[in-house]
Amino acid sequence: TRSWKKEDARPPCFFGTWECLQSQNWCVNGVGSYLGRQRVPSACLCRSAPAAAVRQKAVEKKTEEFKLVYRFPGIKYCRVLSRLKLLQTATTVVMLPPICYLYLQDQVSQNILLYTTGIAFFAGAMLYGMSYFFRRIIGLIYLSETGRTVKVAHLTFWGRRNDIYCPIETVMTLDEVGDSKGELLLQFKRYNSTDILYFTIKFGQIVDRQKFTQIFGKLE
């Protein structure tokens, strides 16, 4: 009887020990997994740090105070013409499918179809040409109070305003570009970009000549 009790007593002790070890192992694994989870956010923070710095830099640019240096009053007319041309092109393109349908139904002549198609293609070509020109005309030029950042406002394809921020050291002076004061359109070039914008002194207004000279150098 005693031998049976001893044999019967061993398994509970063995399983009890195994359960204790399992519970300890679970605790250790739980701590390890917890520590592992704790390390993940730090890595995420390290990865998101550059993005946060970029966002903070963009916010600083928007909140920075800028002083008007140059303005082109005719930019509002360019904006109106750009939107009118866009509306005309859209109207012409919308009218083309009904004309084609009526032609297939023998309700309009071939001359009307060719005339409408020609107008649609001509309007599209004119829209592209005018948009290419209007998008490169500068309406406003600003300089930050610190004198480090230049803000340039120009039109988009849809006739809306778009602001470009660039460090002043990346802007080429008029001497480096090769333009003189007597030219109708002056080029706005940057060292870090191949895009070329244009502004005019003949039809534009220099609001702050000192800051203008600080950006583009002296006018000859």
Per-residue confidence band for 16, with pLDDT thresholds at 50, 70 and 90: very low
Domain co-membership, 55 together with 151: no
Domain boundary among 38, 63, 88: 63
Question: Tokens standing for 118?
Answer: 């020609």
Domain co-membership, 57 together with 153: no
Cα–Cα distance measured from residue 6 to residue 22, given in angstroms and rounded to the nearest whole number: 24
pLDDT in tens, 134-187: 999 999 999 999 999 999 999 998 889 999 999 999 999 988 988 877 788 999
Tell which residue, 145, 136, 137, has the closest CA to residue 211: 145
Tell me if the pTM is above 0.75.
no
Domain co-membership, 89 together with 195: yes
Domain co-membership, 56 together with 81: no
Domain co-membership, 122 together with 143: yes
Domain co-membership, 36 together with 131: no
Tell which residue, 103, 105, 121, has the closest CA to residue 113: 103
Contact 179, 100 (CB under 8 A): no
pLDDT in tens, 67-82: 999 999 999 999 998 8
Domain co-membership, 26 together with 126: no
Domain co-membership, 139 together with 43: no
pLDDT in tens, 90-101: 888 888 899 888
pLDDT in tens, 102-128: 888 888 888 988 998 898 888 888 888
Tell which residue, 214, 212, 193, has the closest CA to residue 204: 212
The helix-helix angle for 110-134 and 75-104 (nearest 10°) equals: 160
Q: What is the rounded average pLDDT for all residues in the chain?
A: 77
Domain co-membership, 100 together with 115: yes
Domain boundary among 44, 63, 82: 63
Domain co-membership, 152 together with 100: yes
Domain co-membership, 43 together with 69: no
Domain boundary among 63, 90, 115: 63
pLDDT of residue 63 exceeding 60: yes
Tell which residue, 134, 99, 105, has the closest CA to residue 118: 99
Range of the domain at 158: 65-220
Domain co-membership, 86 together with 29: no
- Count the domains in the chain: 2
